[in-house]
């Protein structure tokens, strides 16, 4: 992220951004010369009391004022080179609270329009939930079709197991219980509008645990990526029982799994603990208790199962999931033993180890923010509350120190599914403020949220089709888009990645003619179907954003 593109080469084209004019500002000391400049804003908008900071960038130094409605101020100091831009300026209009539709202007350069108001995010959760409904497996309320009614057969015993339901994980057709368990629990904590979707997920999570010693981690696998490409209700993938037949159901064994390539699984506590939390929130207490016992009996992490390729979700943390299962069981039952467990696991989980790192493994610290600390807080004694708050604060402090090094104040690793990390930062800042009343990380959280909705070098919202009138991801890596040009609106895409990660992958097409070529650097993003590393929507990222929007006050 620290690498800087300092080239002064001029580019002839103008970026096709809705409402964004690529016009000029007078460079300092060169009033007769005009320079290309770009203004990046959160295209959804801001609550009245939010920090509000746009970024204007150029190849040439700039000076003068910017304007937002009647508000005017100097563009301020040059923040230096970062990413694809040699000069960057932070335009602070936090003092503007008046509700309305606005744009930021600097000379002839204008930003996309955005809202300020208490209702700026009113419609966003419904659009995110729209994506989750499209992702439903079993019976789909969007398409009206049924799919995967034979899920699945146990790969160890060969027996059929009822695992119908849940959600397709991303742009393909398989189902990951690592993400499904989290999505279900987080949806239960995301407000009234999310409860129906949470109950849909809970129906499958309950089925994952047919016996006291068993839990399933995955339904289907990357054989789903083989031709023919079809929509979910016409899936012709062959898992050894004929095209379109039953899919493989992979039990979490607590040991490395995979027919050729193997994951590094050593237990099931992450999956079983998180699932116990989901079941407690769903009111399924018998199942929750049993899952929690399994999690305690088999410490370590279950991981997704690789088959054709060596890639898998390599989650490494599980004390946070044991804490989550324990605290939700305590809230549901008021049994003191669960509260004692939750406090012990909270101290074992501690802070978020990824916060402050340059990189981490694929899903290594999933789900990136420990919601259990926040859930435990109201029930903890004063000394425990101090420790819980410190676990949040220390990670945020590390990220804030990193953020000061760039004008976008972005400080999270740009690894695969980077939007998860960005959303986790904003969420942790919001929850820390709720718990302590300390708003000192609110601006850091707002900068992360704003990155997701368009205040980034590409000027793109990473939420498909949101906002409708702005420039949002619009050609995602999703079969409904490729085969039917049905936009999976509301899905949060993986987001930008380090260029070396992107370069290491094998795509089905080149990125020649990239509309964002001017804005690529050592971090890249492509709004094209082919780029599954930056432009594939994911259920966990989408649910995380639903939770964040509900939590942000």
Q: Residue 6 and residue 8: Cα distance in Å, rounded?
A: 6
Instruction: Say yes or no: do domains 24-116 and 124-460+534-551 share a fold.
Output: no
Q: What is the mean pLDDT of residues 482-506?
A: 96
Tell me: pLDDT of 116 over 50: yes
pLDDT of residue 326: 99
Chain-centre distance for alpha carbon 535: 12
Q: Which residue has the higher pLDDT, 61 or 18?
A: 61
Contact 492, 543 (CB under 8 A): no
The reply to whether omega before 467 is within 30° of 0 (cis) is: yes
Confidence of residue 9 (pLDDT cuts 50, 70, 90): very low
CA distance 445 to 433: 10
Instruction: Report whether CATH 3.30.70.20 matches the domain 24-116.
Output: no
E strands, 59-113, are: 65-68, 71-74, 87-92, 100-102, 104-106, 109-110
Which sequence spans correspond to the domains of the chain? 24-116, 124-460+534-551
- Cα-only R_g, the chain: 23
User: pLDDT at residue 14 above 80?
Assistant: no
Q: How far apart are CA 499 and CA 354, in angstroms?
A: 20
Are 407 and 415 in contact by the 8 Å Cβ rule? The answer is no
Q: Which residue has the higher pLDDT, 395 or 8?
A: 395
pLDDT > 70? residue 5: no
For residue 508, what pLDDT is reported? 78
Q: CA 49 to CA 59: how far, in whole Å?
A: 32
Q: What is the distance between the alpha carbons of residues 88 and 153, in angstroms, rounded to a whole number?
A: 56
State yes or no: pLDDT of 28 exceeds 60: no
Contact by Cβ (8 Å): 392, 350: no
Give bridge partners of residue 25 from the DSSP assignment: 35
Q: Give one DSSP letter per residue of 382-406, joined into a string.
A: HHHHHHHHHHHHHHHHHHHHHHTTS
Selected from 3.40.50.300, 3.40.190.170, 1.10.630.10, 1.50.10.10, the CATH number assigned to the domain covering 124-460+534-551 reads 1.50.10.10
370 Cβ contact list (under 8 Å, min separation 6): 320, 323, 324, 349, 352, 391
Query: For residue 260, what pLDDT is reported?
Result: 94
Q: What is the pLDDT of residues 185-240, one digit of tens each?
A: 999 999 999 999 999 999 999 999 999 999 999 999 999 989 999 999 999 999 99
Q: What mean pLDDT comes out for the span 525-536?
A: 96
Residue range 457-468, pLDDT digits in tens: 999 999 999 999
3-state class of 160 per DSSP? Answer: strand
CB 187 within 8 A of CB 269: no
Instruction: Round the average pLDDT of the chain to a whole number and report it.
Output: 93
d(CA 42, CA 69): 16
Site of tokens 């990239």: 514
CB neighbour list of residue 454: distance below 8 Å, 6 or more residues apart: 40, 41, 42, 43, 44, 112, 460, 461, 470, 471, 472
419 burial (CB, 10 Å; 0-12 / 13-18 / 19+) is buried
Q: What's residue 398's pLDDT?
A: 98
Q: Which pLDDT band holds residue 35 (cuts at 50, 70, 90)?
A: low
Stretch 527-549: mean pLDDT: 97
Burial, 231: exposed, middle or buried (Cβ in 10 Å; 0-12, 13-18, 19+)? middle
* Other beta carbons within 10 Å of 251: 22
Which among 148, 288, 140, 269 has a CA at the least distance from the CA of 206? 288
Token reading at 137: 């497996």
- The set of residues, in sequence order, having a beta carbon less than 8 Å from that of 437 and lying 6+ positions away, is none
pLDDT for residue 157: 97
pLDDT score of 74? 97
Q: Are 434 and 374 in contact (CB under 8 A)?
A: yes
Compute, in degrees rounded to 10, the torsion defined by CA atoms 512, 518, 523, 528. Answer: -40
Contact by Cβ (8 Å): 224, 244: no
Residue 105: pLDDT band with limits 50, 70, 90: very high
Q: Are 457 and 88 in contact (CB under 8 A)?
A: no
Q: Which of 54, 59, 11, 6 is nearest to 37 (CA)?
A: 59
What sign results for the dihedral spanned by CA atoms 3, 397, 74, 66?
positive
Whether residue 544 contacts residue 131, with contact meaning beta carbons closer than 8 Å, is answered with: no
Q: For residues 396 and 432, is the Cβ–Cβ distance under 8 A?
A: yes
Crossing angle (nearest 10°) for helices 285-297 and 319-333:
150
Strand partners, 68: 71, 104
Are 505 and 530 in contact by the 8 Å Cβ rule? The answer is: no
Predicted confidence (pLDDT) per residue in 400-454, tens digit: 999 999 999 999 999 999 999 999 999 999 999 999 999 999 999 999 999 999 9
Reported as a single tens digit per residue, the pLDDT across 238-272 is 999 999 999 999 999 999 999 999 999 999 999 99
Does residue 516 surpass a pLDDT of 60? yes
Q: What is the pLDDT of residue 375?
A: 98
pLDDT in tens, 49-83: 999 999 999 999 999 999 999 999 999 999 999 99
Per-residue pLDDT, averaged over 507-528, amounts to 93
Nearest alpha-carbon partner for 202 in 221, 218, 220, 187: 187
pLDDT of residue 26: 42
């Amino acid at each position: 992220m620290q690498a800087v593109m300092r080239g002064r080469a001029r580019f002839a084209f103008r970026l096709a951004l809705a409402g964004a004019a690529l016009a000029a500002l007078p460079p300092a000391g060169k009033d007769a010369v005009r320079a290309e400049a770009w203004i990046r804003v959160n295209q959804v908008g801001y609550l009245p009391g939010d920090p509000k900071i746009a970024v204007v960038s150029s190849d040439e130094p700039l000076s003068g004022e910017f304007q937002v409605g009647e508000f005017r101020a100097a563009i301020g100091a040059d923040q230096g080179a970062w990413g694809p831009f040699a000069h960057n300026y932070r335009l602070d209009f936090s003092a503007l609270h008046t509700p309305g539709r606005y744009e930021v202007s600097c000379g002839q350069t204008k930003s996309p329009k955005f809202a300020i108001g208490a209702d700026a995010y009113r419609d966003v959760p419904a659009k995110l939930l729209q994506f989750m409904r499209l992702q439903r497996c079993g019976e789909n309320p969007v398409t009206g079709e049924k799919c995967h009614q034979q899920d699945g057969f146990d790969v160890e015993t060969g027996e059929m197991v009822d695992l119908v339901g849940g959600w397709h994980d991303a742009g393909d057709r398989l189902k990951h219980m690592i993400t499904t368990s989290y999505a279900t629990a987080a949806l239960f904590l995301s407000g009234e509008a999310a409860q129906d979707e949470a109950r849909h997920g809970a129906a499958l999570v309950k089925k994952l645990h047919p016996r006291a010693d068993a839990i399933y981690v995955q339904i289907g696998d990357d054989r789903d990526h083989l031709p023919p490409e079809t929509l979910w209700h016409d899936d012709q993938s062959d898992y050894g029982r004929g095209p379109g037949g039953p899919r493989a159901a992979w039990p979490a064994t607590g040991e490395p799994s995979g027919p050729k390539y193997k994951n590094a699984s050593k237990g099931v506590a992450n999956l079983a603990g998180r699932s116990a939390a989901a079941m407690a929130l769903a009111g399924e207490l018998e199942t929750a208790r049993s899952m929690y016992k399994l999690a305690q009996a088999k410490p370590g992490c279950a991981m997704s199962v690789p088959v054709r390729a060596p890639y898998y979700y390599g989650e490494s943390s599980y004390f946070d999931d044991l804490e989550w299962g324990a605290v939700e069981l305590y809230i549901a039952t008021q049994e003191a033993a669960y509260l004692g467990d939750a406090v012990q696991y909270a101290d074992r989980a501690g802070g978020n180890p990824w916060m402050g790192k340059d990189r981490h493994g694929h899903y290594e610290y999933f789900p990136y923010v420990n919601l259990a600390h926040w859930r435990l807080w109201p029930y903890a004694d004063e000394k425990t509350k101090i420790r819980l708050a410190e676990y949040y604060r220390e990670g945020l402090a590390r990220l804030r120190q990193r953020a000061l090094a760039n004008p976008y104040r972005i400080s999270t690793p740009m690894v695969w599914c980077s939007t998860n990390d960005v959303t986790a930062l904003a969420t942790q800042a919001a929850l820390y403020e709720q718990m302590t009343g300390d708003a000192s990380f609110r601006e850091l959280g707002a900068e992360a949220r704003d990155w997701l909705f368009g205040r980034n070098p590409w000027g793109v919202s990473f939420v498909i089709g949101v906002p409708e009138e702005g420039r949002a991801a619009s050609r995602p890596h999703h079969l409904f888009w490729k085969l039917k040009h049905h936009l999976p609106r509301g899905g949060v895409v993986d987001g930008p990645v380090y260029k070396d990660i992107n370069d290491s992958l094998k795509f089905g097409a080149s990125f020649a003619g990239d509309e964002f070529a001017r804005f690529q650097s050592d971090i890249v993003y492509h709004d094209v179907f082919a780029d599954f590393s930056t432009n594939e929507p994911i259920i966990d990222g989408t649910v995380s954003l639903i939770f964040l929007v509900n939590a942000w006050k």
